[in-house]
Amino acid sequence: MANAANREAVTRFEAALHCLQRLPGDQDTRAPGIDIRLDMRNALLQLGENARCLAMLREAEPLAEDLDDALRLGWIASFLSTHCLLSGDSDQAIAAGERALALASACAQAALQADVHLHLGQAYHARGHYQKAVEVLAWNVEALADPAFRDQAGPAGHFSMHSLPWLVWCLGELGAFPEGLAHGQEAIRLAETVGHPYGLVAAYGSVGLLYLRKGELDKAVPQLERSLALCRSADILLMLPTVASSLGAAYALSGRLAAALPLLEQAVAQATAMHLMLYHALAVASLSEAYLLADDVEQAHEHAVRALALCQAHKEEGHHAWVLRLLGDIAVRRAPPDAEEAAACYQAAQTRARALGMRPLLAHCHLGLGRLYCQQGQSTLAGHELVAAMELYRTLDMGFWQQQAAMALAQVGSP
């Protein structure tokens, strides 16, 4: 497993479990039985086999309860948090994470505390609670900077390496791009130093997604291509749909639709096949946006409606806001345009973006409304919205999008 040969690792762990089950009945095999299952879960996770991971944890949990082993129960709860999240159940993910955190605190176990903070941060990110996720993940980064805590945690590179990319993703949604990029560069440095394929996939992918949010597509594409190549070469199937959909979105915005659409279709199909619900809505939304850029409005609308249903089912508030903005773009492009629907979608997305602190999305909503009002001949309203978009893009240093707003504003003049 340390060499990313995860399928070989699973075979060996299965053999170890088989040996354990053949030991004489008077030997207590519960503790090693738990540990083998948890190790096997780690290998299965990278292969994207979420159902088997959950099965390993469900088998381990009663063994730990029989032993009244708080530490092992804490690890099981922490891992359950991740797998509930992958299944799209953020409520259970947060509940399991909070239970694990209580056990970690009771045991005063640094490694478990770090692992739980990572998983809780992931769960808050999935819900769209980005600022809360930043606080939880930053706890890890700061704690692991303390040599005493790092010594207690053991191989702490795992926790800091994995916490940093999620921190980058959150900061990108909030528009804190300089801070996010600094953490992203540190994540890449750590992952390259350790030579950990999963860490490299996450690090390159997080920086690529941050550049995508910022609109710097020439920088986003190389990072995402590196991440996707590693996903494939190291057989890290868990991350493949997310990375592929991010790269497909970057290709689409760059005008490379012939490359974007097959990649996005593949990402959605792979996530569906693996029953991987985490960020599935965002992948479907990215496919919708690519179809819109390809002038296939009906396909775009069909996928956007599906993405909205997924957001609602899995309580992904941040992604819900992105999909509402996308539905606004689609309504503008329908024949004839549905101005009332477009305005309602942009305004609903705007309200959600403001509440969640999603400044890049908020700027996009101003831009969408400005273009809509311009189309309707409402120059004063258009000007106000486009000026608001330009100012926010300028504040966030989103040069590509600032230029888009400036071109739209040139058509209506200043309010």
Give the model confidence (pLDDT) of 362-398 as tens digits. 999 999 999 999 999 999 999 999 999 999 999 999 9
For 181, 203, 253, the CA distances from 164, given in Å and listed in that order, are: 10, 8, 26
- For the entire predicted model, the pTM comes to 0.88
Q: In what helix (H) or strand (E) does residue 52 lie, and over which residues does it extend?
A: helix 50-67
Q: What is the mean pLDDT of residues 274-292?
A: 93
Domain containing residue 293: CATH number: 1.25.40
Position 105 in a domain:
no
- Structural domain contains residue 217: yes
The residue count of the chain comes to 415
Question: Interior CA angle at 368 toward 258 and 88, to 5°?
Answer: 65
Q: Is the pLDDT of residue 177 over 80?
A: yes
pLDDT, position 415: 45
What integer pLDDT is reported at residue 159 of this predicted model? 62
How high is the pLDDT of residue 158? 63
Token pair 């990402």 is at which residue? 267
**Residue 212: its pLDDT value, please?**
98
**Domain assignment present for 166:** yes
Residue 63 lies in a domain: no
Q: What percent of the chain shows pLDDT beyond 90?
A: 75
393 domain residue, yes or no: yes
* CATH number of the domain encompassing residue 163: 1.25.40.10
Same domain for 365 and 343, yes or no, is no
pLDDT at 153 > cutoff 80? no
- Domain end call among 350, 370, 392: 350
Domain boundary among 191, 207, 230: 230
Shared-domain flag, residues 318 and 364: no
Residue 299, domain member (yes or no): yes
Are residues 340 and 375 both part of a single domain? no
Structural domain count of the chain: 3
The answer to whether residue 70 is domain-embedded is: no
Q: At residue 209, what is the residue type? A: L
**CA gap 260, 239 in Å, rounded:** 18
On the question of pLDDT at 413 being above 70, the answer is: no
In this prediction, residue 47 carries a pLDDT of: 85
Which residues are within 8 A (CB) of 42 and not within 5 positions of it... i.e. 6 or more apart?
1
**Residues 172 and 222 both lie in one domain:** yes
| C-alpha to C-alpha distances, 266 to 260, 271, 284, nearest whole angstrom | 10, 9, 11
DSSP conformation class of 219: H
Of 153-167, 177-191, 225-239, minimum mean pLDDT range: 153-167
* 378-391 residues labelled b (16+ CB within 10 A) or e (exposed): beebbbbbbbbbbe
* Mean pLDDT calculated for residue range 171-184: 98
Domain final residue pick, 334, 350, 366: 350
Based on the fold, state whether residues 401 and 379 are members of the same structural domain: yes
Domain residue limits at 362? 358-415
Q: Say if 271 falls within a structural domain.
A: no
The stretch 141-156 carries a mean pLDDT of 78
State the average pLDDT over residues 339-347.
97
